[in-house]
Amino acid sequence: MTEIGSQAKVDSLRHPVATGHPPQLAVIVPSFNERGNIELLYEKLAIALGATAWEMIVVDDNSPDGTAAVVNEMSRVYANVRCIRRFGRRGLSSACVEGMAATSAPYVAVIDADLQHDEAILPQMLEKALAGADLVVGTRFAGEGSAATGLSATRLSGSRLATKMAAMIAGQPISDPMSGFFLVRRDIFENVAPKLANDGFKILIDLIVTSARSGKPLQIAEVPYTFRPRHAGESKMNPLIVIQYLGLWASKLSGGILPPSFLLFGLVGVTGVVVHMATLGLFTYSLGANFVISQIAATMVAMTWNFWLNNNLTYADRRLHGRKLVFGLIGFYAICALGGIANISVASGIYNLDHQTFAAGLAGAVMSSVFNYAVTRAFTWK
Ligand code: GDD
Ligand code: MN
């Protein structure tokens, strides 16, 4: 067998693209409905990066507007462009991770498709990485940087708060931990890639915290820029993304002991108690049903509520649809029933020890929550 890279093999496979320079820098562009931006972005990157050997990898979640088709057309003209197209999945962070994992370039940058990030600072970012920084962040909140032109007043204050929260877990000073614009050495990324959370928008802070936790805190440099208004299309930021960020943040605050999905599952459980009580009140007081009937109805409503919310929030990245949704719900009822049995047996066991009603009740509730979390994670949202 000939080795990869042996002269004979290279000669036999010689092809116009293969004769070019291998890329020094891969620019990863996560995209969802960015048809109107992608070509202009490429042109601007080409101007900014000049003679650097670079490639653009667009990671598109099968955008309904046909972004992938535009990128594929571009690939036929520019040899340094390609599209990774994902089906049945959504998510900015996971798109970045998969894009970064798909290149051989020693340096990788992530940039939004909508032209909000100033591509003109990329050469400066690369220079800092070549000079020894592990990670170079484009910042809107230091030096000459600014975000006022690209964010509404509400988004700006939300962004400030998220930035302060991020600073609490980053463990080192960084002015724009929520930035979606950064450049990193690929080996640094690869060290932690399997451990990165895949949901939401917070890839950068996750990269920093996860590296620090693995005992390799990053050398971070920053380059300021002015955040521009979006060119074409709409932002995909939504309340779900904010909640997913809160989940990651709380998880990192716990030292990574409690996974974000467990915290979100718990939060959903708390809302389920409220739904349970409201349904109970409705059945007994407004509809005049007896207690047992009302309690059964409240339990069913609360379980259905919890299932729906977990499907759309905790496990939004692996949301069930169609038949799987129906089977998932039935399975969820069954698992919750088992959780209830676990709850009662643990609680009564503890109660029999020393008759501490609340301690026993709490232990039972914790037991069934952990049980429900672990089992639904293994079977319902696997
Ligand atoms: N593949 C893929 N899948 N790409 C996505 C998805 C998704 O589910 N959601 C968003 N994107 C892409 C968009 O197409 C865009 O290129 C980029 O990710 C940023 O999305 P926007 O919708 O433009 O986000 P934003 O402008 O509200 O948020 C930006 O600023 C935040 C800080 O204010 C992003 O850079 C965030 O990372 C950053 O935290
Ligand atoms: Mn944007």
- CATH code of the domain in which 146 resides: 3.90.550.10
Share above pLDDT 90 across residues of the chain, in percent, rounded to a whole number:
55
301 & 222 share domain = no
Note the pLDDT of residue 234.
Answer: 86
Average confidence (pLDDT) over 7-18 = 65
Note the pLDDT of residue 151.
Answer: 79
- Residue indicated by tokens 């930021």: 237
200 & 311 share domain = no
Note the pLDDT of residue 175.
Answer: 86
Asked whether 206 lines ligand 1 (CB < 6 A), one says: no
Ligand nearest to the CA of 110: 1
CA angle 380, 268, 266 (to 5 degrees): 85
Residue 4: pLDDT above 70? no
Tell me, yes or no, whether 80 lies in a domain.
yes
Structure tokens at 108: 């990788």
Average confidence (pLDDT) over 165-174 = 83
If you measure from the C-alpha of residue 217 to the centroid of ligand 2, how many angstroms do you get, rounded to a whole number? 28
Residue type, 309: L
188 & 64 share domain = yes
Tell me the β-bridge partners of 85: 60
pTM of the predicted structure, to 2 decimals:
0.80
Tell me, yes or no, whether 110 lies in a domain.
yes
227 & 264 share domain = no
Read off the pLDDT band of 318 (50, 70, 90).
confident
Residue 144: pLDDT above 90? no
DSSP state of 251: H
Residue 16: pLDDT above 60? no
CB 310, CB 325: distance < 8 Å = no
206 & 314 share domain = no
Closest residue to atom 21 of ligand 1, CA basis = 235
Tell me the β-bridge partners of 107: 25, 185
Note the pLDDT of residue 168.
Answer: 83
Q: What are the residues whose beta carbon lies below 5 Å from ligand 2 (ion)?
A: 112, 114, 116, 230
Asked whether 30 lines ligand 1 (CB < 6 A), one says: yes
Note the pLDDT of residue 19.
Answer: 60
What is the CA 186 to chain-centroid distance, rounded? Answer: 19
Name the region of 355 (left: φ>0; alpha: ψ -120 to 50; beta: rest).
left
Of 167-176, 182-191, 279-288, which has the strongest mean pLDDT? 182-191
Read off the pLDDT band of 70 (50, 70, 90).
very high
If you measure from the C-alpha of residue 267 to the centroid of ligand 2, how many angstroms do you get, rounded to a whole number? 29
If you measure from the C-alpha of residue 112 to the centroid of ligand 1, how many angstroms do you get, rounded to a whole number? 6
Name the region of 143 (left: φ>0; alpha: ψ -120 to 50; beta: rest).
left
Average confidence (pLDDT) over 170-183 = 87
If you measure from the C-alpha of residue 277 to the centroid of ligand 1, how many angstroms do you get, rounded to a whole number? 38
Read off the pLDDT band of 232 (50, 70, 90).
confident
Domain carrying residue 15: 6-234
Distance, CA of 238 to CA of 34 (rounded, Å): 17
144 & 265 share domain = no
Tell me, yes or no, whether 216 lies in a domain.
yes
**Helix ranges restricted to H, the chain:** 7-12, 38-49, 67-75, 92-100, 122-130, 153-170, 186-192, 203-213, 239-253, 260-281, 291-309, 322-354, 357-379
230 & 289 share domain = no
pLDDT in tens, 272-289: 999 999 999 999 998 988
Read off the pLDDT band of 14 (50, 70, 90).
low
DSSP state of 311: I
From 32, 116, 230, 317, the mutation candidate for ligand 1 (largest count of ligand atoms within 8 A of CB) is 32
Tell me, yes or no, whether 311 lies in a domain.
yes
Residue 147: pLDDT above 80? no
Which is the closest atom of ligand 1 to the Cα of 86? 1
Note the pLDDT of residue 174.
Answer: 85
Ligand nearest to the CA of 83: 1
Read off the pLDDT band of 199 (50, 70, 90).
low
33 & 71 share domain = yes
Closest residue to atom 12 of ligand 1, CA basis = 31
Read off the pLDDT band of 200 (50, 70, 90).
low
When divided into structural domains, the chain yields a total of 2
Distance, CA of 72 to CA of 83 (rounded, Å): 7
188 & 108 share domain = yes
Q: What is the mean pLDDT of the chain?
A: 89
Tell me, yes or no, whether 1 lies in a domain.
no
Residue 18: pLDDT above 60? no
60 & 143 share domain = yes
CA separation (Å) from 293 to 51, 264, 282, 343, 360? 74, 30, 12, 21, 26
Residue whose C-alpha is closest to residue 182's, from 235, 246, 234, 121: 121
Give the residue from 218, 234, 250 where a domain finishes.
Answer: 234
pLDDT in tens, 236-277: 888 888 888 888 888 888 887 888 899 999 999 999 999 999
Note the pLDDT of residue 134.
Answer: 97
| Cβ within 8 Å of residue 6, ≥6 positions away | none
Distance, CA of 122 to CA of 306 (rounded, Å): 45
26 & 158 share domain = yes
Asked whether 92 lines ligand 1 (CB < 6 A), one says: yes
Tell me, yes or no, whether 182 lies in a domain.
yes
Distance, CA of 382 to CA of 230 (rounded, Å): 36
If you measure from the C-alpha of residue 300 to the centroid of ligand 1, how many angstroms do you get, rounded to a whole number? 37
Average confidence (pLDDT) over 210-226 = 91
Read off the pLDDT band of 223 (50, 70, 90).
very high
If you measure from the C-alpha of residue 196 to the centroid of ligand 2, how many angstroms do you get, rounded to a whole number? 22
Distance, CA of 85 to CA of 101 (rounded, Å): 14
190 & 271 share domain = no
CB 368, CB 272: distance < 8 Å = no
Average confidence (pLDDT) over 110-136 = 96
Residue 9: pLDDT above 80? no
Read off the pLDDT band of 114 (50, 70, 90).
very high
Average confidence (pLDDT) over 328-342 = 94
Average confidence (pLDDT) over 103-131 = 96
